[in-house]
Amino acid sequence: MKWRNQWGEYYLDIQEARDLYFRLMAFGRGWVGDTPGFGGDLSSVLGSIKAKTLYVVSPQDQFFPPEYIEAEVTAIPGARAVWIDSDAGHLICCNADPQATWAMGQAMKQFLQELSGQRQTAR
C-alpha cells in the first residue's frame, strides 16, 4: 500500500512506541456518557449537542466503524456525515490519500459556506 509507506515515513515510523501507546490509552479513558447530568445515557448526551455537526469519515475506518458514525449522526440533531471512500481508512485525516484529502477539503468548504450563509440570513 503506497499510502502506508508514505504515512510511515513522516509519522508512524518516527514515533516512540511508548508515546503511541499512552496516546491510545488516554484516548480510551474518556467517555462522553459520563457527562454530568445525563446518567450515562449516551443518546441523551449526543441529543443535547446544539452545534452544527459534520462527520467526515471513510467507510474503511477501523477506529470508528460506519455503524457507530451512523448512530451518532442519528442522535445529534441536524448532524450529517460525508463518506469518503479510501483504503487509508481512519488516516484520511492526515493526507494519507491525496484524493481523500481533496474530497475532505471540498466537504469542509461546503459545510463552512452553508454555515456562513445561515449566519448571513440570520442577520
The yes-or-no verdict on residue 30 having pLDDT over 70 is yes
As a whole number, mean pLDDT of residues 102-118 equals 93
pLDDT on residue 3:
54
| Backbone CA torsion sign across 70, 72, 78, 84 | negative
The yes-or-no verdict on residue 122 having pLDDT over 70 is yes
Instruction: Give the pLDDT band of residue 8 (cuts 50, 70, 90).
Output: low
pLDDT on residue 92:
87
Rounded Cα distance between 123 and 106, Å, is: 26
And the C-alpha cell for 11?
509519522
As a whole number, mean pLDDT of residues 20-40 equals 80
Question: 11 or 68, which is more confident?
Answer: 68
pTM: 0.74
And the C-alpha cell for 53?
455537526
Torsion of CA 13, 58, 61, 5, to 10 degrees: -20
